[in-house]
Amino acid sequence: MCGIIGYTGKKNSVEVLIEGLKRMEYRGYDSSGIAILNDNNEIVTIKKKGEIQKLINAINDRKYPSHTGIAHTRWATHGEPNDINAHPHSDCKNEISIVHNGIVENFKSLKDYLLSKGHKFVSETDTEIIVHLIEEFAEDNDLLTAVKKALKKIKGTYGLLVISKKLPNTIIAARMGSPLVIGKSDKQMIIASDASAIISHTNQVLYLEEGEIAEITVNDINISNIFSNHITDPKFIEIDMTLEQIEKGGYEHFMLKEIYEQPESIRNTIRGRLDKTNGTIRLNGIKKYINDLKDADRIIITACGTSWHAALLGKYLIENFANIPVEVDYASEFRYRNPIVRKNTVVIAISQSGETADTIAAIYEAKRKNAIVLGICNVIGSTIARITDAGIYMHAGPEIGVASTKAFTSQVTVLLLLAILLGRKHHMSFDEGLHLIKELEKIPDKINEILNSRKYIQKLSKQLYKHTNFLYLGRGFNYPVALEGALKLKEISYIHAEGYPAAEMKHGPIALIDDNMPALVIALKDSIYEKIITNIKEIKARKGHVISIATKGDKEIGSMLKDVIYIPDTFEPMAPLLSIIPLQMISYEIAVLRKLDVDKPRNLAKSVTVE
């Protein structure tokens, strides 16, 4: 969750660290802080509760010449957000300072041990345990050995950066369960939770692997394993990310920018993967395992949050096109319920960041049961990309807004591609495959058509933003869209919303219907259109306010309802790529009207890297 960054090099470290924190603020914004080594070789620490601007204000009236430092933006786990609990944390002598992303599960027993040794604690955090352990083991200025000894005592997860006044131009970085990437350029090294904090300085990066620890100086990096002392040869790669991609580009919020980027992100997802000659799909990343997928007795798709909603659509698509049974599992539950994984089971893990802790744990559990595990993620070089047997990259580009938008549609697009490919391996004809491919190519232009209806959606949102409860209903392929639409409203507007299969409304939720409970109903001209029309009539009979997503040209629904958002027609399995767009836009406009921070919703962080 938290964002951490470290710098050693020729530039002023404070400027680099603050810039990096601003790039990573979506990872946590409860509090932030920096610790630098100044010209007198003393550690200076500044920490502030709240957004990073408060830290900047505290720094602006002082000058801090420094070339080495670490910084942190926090998503709180242990201890409430305040100045004291903010990172960095220091040892008793203020000679060692650390920033940490993760959780120390055995912090209570370790704290009792350290208290017995005379260590004094000032915060409520589990992180402070780590710096005191390092202090306990520090001997002969050997910081690397002290950090290793400390981490061997810890149960839990960490992305960790450590500095010491006794090693003025050195940063120790360690990783277990929380991502760390190291960037290098001329006479400088930058370490961060993700590449967005690095890209303005260099595109040459190295991803630390699980259990690795690195001793980093301006010109050198030495990597070994915490537990085996195995030495790793550092191998940097070039990442395909630009500074423009992680800036707002004139939009008021990242979320709005990313909603409008969906035509292009879907084009990028399908680029080079449509084989019109053979009426099928190319997915070279999983080519080695395509027969395992084709012959699978069952596919399990595991994910969290928005990715779980995409996974549910994946189930509908694969079962529809390929006739392979698919089970969708919350990654957070998968490893705790002794999942049944047999010889011909294939597991697919979905994560935008590729760093979701629960999804990573589910992958390890599936591999322990000898399953083939494939990944769908957006970040090249991420943990999930490295630990799965093979995978498919979404190519959606960086997503900064905490509430996922373009990642969802890119995930659904990837699953649609996979379903068509598997369908062609089974009973789907060439003509059907080709028709699907051609229709998929039209989706980006159809999304642009929906985006042009923003003024109408803004007008509609003004009628809705003061309500405190919403119901989202959909059937068939649009049931997962109802779930995702409700989640978007909850995430950024703090309005209670529930997504349901429309037919389930009669089994309980209909009791909630009145004129204060808007119902957003996805009612497209598809195979179950008449059924959803009946559901709308049931709501209207109880004086419910219905807002519908409907197919362009549908006069029947227009005669029934005052508030209708029309979207272009498409093949039924592709409709979610269109029907989700107005729901994303409604959530955004309502949040803006409620004067909320759209990109940084309370209590949420972009990448959930702790369990």
Terminal CA-CA length for the chain: 10
Give the active site residue among 2, 315, 406, 600. 2
446: helix, strand or coil: helix
421: helix, strand or coil: helix
166 tagged catalytic: no
Q: Count CB-CB contacts under 10 A for residue 108.
A: 11
* In the block, residue with structure tokens 């985006």: 451
What lies within 8 Å, CB to CB, of 99 at 6+ separation is 2, 4, 5, 6, 33, 35, 70, 71, 72, 87, 88, 89, 160, 161
582: helix, strand or coil: helix
606 tagged catalytic: yes
Using only C-alpha atoms, the chain has a radius of gyration, in whole angstroms, of 25
Q: Count CB-CB contacts under 10 A for residue 271.
A: 9
Distance CA 405, CA 490 (A): 14
33: helix, strand or coil: strand
Give the active site residue among 111, 148, 600, 606. 606
CB 313 within 8 A of CB 340: no
Q: Count CB-CB contacts under 10 A for residue 530.
A: 8
Bridge partners of 299, per DSSP, are: 326, 346
Q: Count CB-CB contacts under 10 A for residue 128.
A: 27
117 burial class (0-12, 13-18, 19+ CB within 10 angstroms)? exposed
Distance CA 114, CA 117 (A): 5
Check the CA dihedral 265-269-271-277 and report its sign: negative
Sheet holding 231-232, edge to edge: 89-90, 96-104, 156-164, 167-176, 212-216, 221-225, 231-232
Q: Count CB-CB contacts under 10 A for residue 562.
A: 11
**HEC readout, 541-562:** CCCCCEEEEEECCCHHHHHHCC
Residue count (the chain): 611
What lies within 8 Å, CB to CB, of 209 at 6+ separation is 175, 232, 386
Distance CA 344, CA 338 (A): 17
Q: Which residues are catalytic?
A: 2, 606
